[in-house]
Structure 1
Amino acid sequence: MKNTISQQIEIKKASESKIGQVDFENLNFGKIFTDHMFVCDFVNGEWQSPKIVPYGLLTIEPSARVFHYGQAVFEGMKAYKDDNGDTFLFRPDENFKRINKSAERLAIPEFPEEYFFEGLHTLLKLDNEWIKPGYGNSLYIRPFVIATQASVSASEADEYKFMIICSPAQSYYSGDVSVLVAEKFSRSANGGFGYAKAAGNYAGQFYPTKLAKEKGYQQVIWTDANTHEYMEEAGTMNVFFRVNDTLLTAPVSDRILDGVTRKSLIAMAEKEGIKVEVRPVKVSEIVEAAKNGTLKEVFGAGTAAVVSPIKAFGYQGDHYEIEKQEQPYADFFKKALMDIQYNKAEDPFGWRQKV
């Protein structure tokens, strides 16, 4: 991984910062953006010279293929500032690998590693004041690629735009959530691209989630497309079930996102001697565990939410409350992970990277 700053990135600074207009105590997730953005175009078969420019509007033709055929992938990552004012990233190599894996599945050209890391580090140094210290504060980073070629013919594009934009963030979810187990709708199917962070994967979730909200639930636990017998993901997060003192989570596949937080929690659990079973998880076994009292916890895991406890779930018209534990695994994992991210604890895994 190359972290040195290259002279090949052209930088155009904003004439005036917007930071003074931002109330950092009352942020709505993903609605405020920093002063600059990273931009790089793919033209004539190669990625052009990258630039950092003031955050602003794009000029793009209405016939750009992203609007018609959905060639768009993205990532979600965060930067954290410790009490000394130093800035850190958490496993950014995983995000880099995954955005290119997603891009490959949608026939988008791979983005160069040196451009990604040099651009990211340069951008974070330029907008460093937007990264606020304090537990829970962070800078959400959104790398993404869109097809920009002007054409409505149904094939992959020849031109693309890779960008990184950043948004100051606090906690993504407030409080525990209730979820509805999907019985009809699916997030993805075998042979599809559920493992990719493709824009279309998320668009397809909005309607079933809207229906769930009308029933009083905040999110959906997605089930397999073939039989709806197996738990897969919870909303935009990977999901864990604690039955007695064993953690269960579904294996990654072409349907399930290989979450960075997910794999981090598995590694942390194994280090702590917590039993983890990565295997297909039947809806029926979780319902039975809820009925007999052995279901101790359910929680989601993801970059934005970190660890999000689930207090109840609905299935086939029945509602199951999950009793709050005195020492929840969810609280332990969230604190242990955030302590690493905010440089408050040793990092035995080598996940933390200083900017």
Structure 2
Amino acid sequence: MAKKVTMMDIARAANVSQTTVSLVLNQSQSIQISDETRNKVLSVADELGYAKKLSFSRSQEPKKIALILDSISDHDPFMDAISTIWNSAWEYNYLISTFYFGNNPNLEQQIQAEISCNQTYVGVIYASSVTRRDLALKIKSELPTVLLNCSAKNNPSLPSILPADLHGGYVATEHLLHQGYKNIAIITGEAWMECSNQRLEGYKQALIDHNLVPKSAYIVEGDWSLNKAYKQTLNLLALANRPDAIFCCSDYMAMGCYQAINESGLRVGKDIAVIGYDNASHGRELEPQLSSVELPYARMGEEALIRVDSLVKQQPLMQLAMSIPSELFIRGSTPGVE
């Protein structure tokens, strides 16, 4: 059976956001979209063979899925997963009710009571903004449940979707190695975080696979902030044998890295290479544009919908735990050794 074309597929092919695709396909007039963009989206949708669902008929009540968020911030890349679920749910004939409890146990109990007592819900997506494999899941539901960006240590039978951060760290480092860089440093996130440790392990494994020993002096910890990355970059540049490339475990930290390199009289992409992680839009605003590994949050959100839909329809899942790989986007910050 051919894979169903989704709004996410159209967004990638048209090089626009999934929100833009949703607005165009739903003929929304709430936001002004240029005729050029609108026609581009419609043309790509037609080329890909996208079949738009009809609106719900009056005789067909849309089913509801509860989307439960533990915490989120405005600039969190995980919003890509949430917006994908919001924008794509109608393709699967679902309405999304979003609950946010901000790690407040009292709110958590109220959410559980609401879902248990309301007969209109047919499934649950429990989403953690921080990647976790040790979640002690407190919200329990008899409904089909999918865990997004987490897995539950007290209920390993629940389907889970996680990013392949070890693979992403490996891909980023291997790209730098293929470009001829040998002295590669890494600015990690906070050490207690799963994603930070996974990306670091991928970095180390790529070096080892290319017969290079990871150097402790080249492994420094950031806290995801621009300021800490700036200071850690200055420390790396002060080494007697300074690195010729730096892998920043987030694009936001890469901005601080750029600033430190420029203030030191060096040039990104000329004197030292920089690669990020997230593939955030601000990385493409830098000069030179930032090479980056994309966090697959949009694909994870889409997969969460697909999996909960399968469970609602009582269709078996091929695997309970799913790890979504990342894609590398190569730009001017990693041109290679001349």
Q: Using structure 1 for the length normalisation, give the TM-score.
A: 0.29
Q: Which has the larger radius of gyration?
A: 2
Q: Using structure 2 for the length normalisation, give the TM-score.
A: 0.30
- Give the number of the structure whose residues are more often helix, by fraction: 2
